[in-house]
Amino acid sequence: MVIQTLSTMKKCHLRSLSFVARLGLMGVALLGFTGCASWDASNQEALLSAAGFSMRKPETPKQMEIYQAMEPYKVQGTTVNGKVLYAYKHEKKGVVYLGGEPEYQHYQRLAIEQRIAQQNYMAAQMNQDLSLRWRYWGGPWGYWW
């Protein structure tokens, strides 16, 4: 009877733990998805610069015309003379970050690495918060034992 009760307790503990883990993963995923949409311009600038994009200010009337037509704060690809170029318009500063295919690939890799690092950090924070709360509810060496 005691063995049966212990195995039942273990199953309940695992179910509640897996529920908490699933809830935590859903929270991290949700925050990760909302984080993608809310990147600020300074973060984009840092990633683009680190990836090798060059910052240029439009000088000629033709460049100004193209600059005005661009969507701000979004990396856009285009083909010029058979060569793929990527541009990012920073409207407040009045500049464009320009790069080719290798720079864009590097930028994407850096952005993914940054998202993974943010998710790992958030997961570690959630794990720490949960472990501290678990202790007060009578965890392995909590107050109730």
Instruction: Express as a percent the part of the chain with pLDDT over 70.
Output: 60
Question: Average pLDDT of 131-143?
Answer: 59
Question: Average pLDDT of 87-100?
Answer: 95
The tokens for 80 are 């010029």
- Where are the domains positioned within the chain? 39-115
**Tens digit of pLDDT for each residue in 40-51?**
767 889 999 999
Maximum C-alpha span of the chain: 87
Quote the mean pLDDT of the chain.
75
Question: What is the DSSP secondary-structure string of 33-70?
Answer: HHHHHT--HHHHHHHHHHHTPEEE---SHHHHHHHHHS
pLDDT band per the 50, 70, 90 thresholds, residue 35: very low
- pLDDT at residue 16 is higher than 50: no
Q: Which residues pair with 90 in a beta bridge?
A: 95
- CB contact at 8 A, 78 and 87: yes
pLDDT band per the 50, 70, 90 thresholds, residue 139: low
Coil, helix or strand for 94? coil
| 5 vs 86 pLDDT, higher one | 86
Q: What is the pTM of this model?
A: 0.57
